[in-house]
Structure 1
Amino acid sequence: MNGDEQLLRGRVYGHDHDDPHPCALPHRTYAALTGGPLDGLLLDITGWRADEIDGGVALQTELGRFPGGRALYDARPGETRGPGPGVACRLYHSGDTP
């Protein structure tokens, strides 16, 4: 695991490493990002509807195949989700886009 990957592990997407609260908060609901350039990060999905989660996300990152592009993460059909708070589901890397 390189230095960038270690900085990201357990942190919430969109929070800087020097943010006073870069990690998960107990009253929020998260999806764990699995694989790809954002592996190990949590995505705050508090308040998201099931169809929003199932539709997947395109997250901007400098760490992907296209710096400044987006890493694509999708839910797997049939995979269960917890009710939250905490980590309720996983989203899996499915590719990168400029």
Structure 2
Amino acid sequence: MNADDEQLMRGRVYGRDHDDPDPGPLPHARYAVLVGGPLDGLLLDITGWRPEEIDDGIALPTELSRWPGGRAFYDPRPGEPRPAGGPGVVCRLHYSGDTP
């Protein structure tokens, strides 16, 4: 990934088209910010997720991992606060590795 790719990804929601005229967050949705790894800085829409689903972490398909077409793992850090409130960024998920 080069500097242009990184700039393109900032403030973008994972899974939304890079050529979407507004790939940013929606005002009514809840997001986790992805920290580190190939998807660093992207937002993951977790609207409607139960706390257990967030606690389990997630494997996200990406062409940017060590293995293009593989999955990047993101997990919450134990003890890191997650506000139970309304919309916006409510938690962070940290990169923990990837797999083919």
For the aligned pair, the TM-score class normalised by the smaller chain equals: over 0.9
CA distance in 2, matches of 1:16, 1:94: 25
Output the aligned Cα RMSD: 1.0
Separation in structure 1 between the aligned mates of residue 96 and residue 58 of structure 2, nearest angstrom: 10
Cα deviation for residue 8 of structure 1 reads 0.7
TM-score (norm 1): 0.95
TM-score (norm. length: structure 2)? 0.93
Please list every run of 5 or more consecutive structure 1 residues that lacks an aligned counterpart in the other structure.
none
Query: Which residue number corresponds to residue 98 of structure 2?
Result: 96
Q: Could you tell me which residue of structure 2 aligns to residue 69 of structure 1?
A: 70
Whole-angstrom distance in 2 between the partners of 1:84 and 1:75? 19
Residue matched to 1:56: 57
What is the number of residues matched between the two proteins? 98
Q: Which residue of 1 aligns with 2:13?
A: 12
Q: How far, CA to CA, are the matches of 2:10 and 2:71 in structure 1?
A: 19
The aligned residue for residue 22 of structure 1 is 23
Unaligned runs of 5+ in 2: none
TM-aligned CA deviation for residue 84 of structure 1 = 3.0
Quote the residue 1:41 is aligned against. 42
Secondary structure of the corresponding residue to residue 38 of structure 2: coil
